[in-house]
Each structure stands twice: as C-alpha cells, then as structure tokens.
Amino acid sequence: MSKGIKGLAVAALTPLARLQRRLLEPLGRLWSHTRLRERIRFPLDPSVVVLGVPEIHGTGNIRLGRQLYLYPGLYLETQGTGEIRIGDEVVISRGVHLVAFERIQIGEGSMIGEYSGIRDANHRTGTDRALRWSGHESRPITIGRQVWIGRGVTVLPGVSIGDGAVIGANAVVTQDIPAGAVAVGIPARVVKSASTDRPVEASR
C-alpha cells in the first residue's frame, strides 16, 4: 500500500474510532456504576462518575455522596463494624486504598491523590500468634472538607485532618493536622499555618 493510500485509510478510520469511543465510554461508566452499586450496602447516587469498577472487600459498609469522581484502580475495604463515609463532590484518584475496621470519613469537596493509602487499623504485634492472625487495632480517621491530599500520601490510624488542609505528596501523616495548614514530609509536619498564613519554622 502506498503512503498516500495508507494515509487516507488512517484518516478514514479516525472519525470511526472517535465515534466508537464516544459511544463506549458512557457504557463503560454505566457498567462500572452498576457494579459498584451492587457491591455496597447503601444507595449510589446517579451523579457519581465511576471510571473503573473499584475492588470492594469485606462488608461493603460504604456510604458515597453525590457528584463523586472515582478514578480506576480503587481498593475499598470495610471489616467488622467498620465503615467508609465519603461526602459530596469528592475526587478519589487512581490506585487509592481505603481500609476501615472502625471508620474513615472524608468531607465534601476533598481530593485524594493517586496511590494514597488511608487505613484506620494496624496489625497487632507482640503476641504469640503469627502476625497474619494477630488481629488489628483500629482508631477512626477523619478528613475534613476541601482537603487536598497529594499523590502517594499515607494516613495512619487515629488521625484527624482539618478543613482546607493540604498534605504534600508522599507524606506520612501520623498526627492531627489543623484546618487550613500545609503539611509535608515523613512524618508529616506543618510548614504553613492557617492562623499566620506564613511558613512555620521547622524545629531542629
């Protein structure tokens, strides 16, 4: 096939490929939405955009708000009486893990960056049993409204993050973060406080 003819063939296929994408993408979202709705215990609002079927483990005790935007590759797990509650207009990016043995609550308008992990439980250590069967110790996690959690962040049990806070990429949050603050690092430390709106001097 000559370059000219080959080019015409590709050009002719391009509109068809675009049409197929326009038709298939809504069907894919509808399928993902339906599968998620079947796997959780509470109603799923039609306004929730589900770009890929999340991996659901455990009890399915998950409450999702309206107008969420859920990227592919999500892992959502609830065990025992644990619950996950997510407010309206939250964005959860690709590969995020949420694991609740007690409670994870995310306030409206918050955004969770790619591959972040939020787990309210740890394996119990120091017992005679194998680690796998040693049980868990859990404390609830609360993330406020309009919180921005960067890519690759880890949030540990018992942490509360206040409204409007920002957590820098790859941080490990081991203690409470005040509202409006910016926190970065391992462990995460506040580098900008909402009360002063100025950088906080790092402790030596």
Catalytic (active site) residue 57 = no
Catalytic one among 33, 57, 97, 123? 123
Tokens 């995020």 belong to: 96
7 Cβ partners below 8 Å, 6+ apart?
Answer: none
Concatenating the DSSP letter of every residue in 51-109 gives SS--EEEET--EEE-SS-EE-SS-EEEE-TT-EEEE-TT-EE-TT-EEEESSEEEE-TT
Active site residue ranges: 123
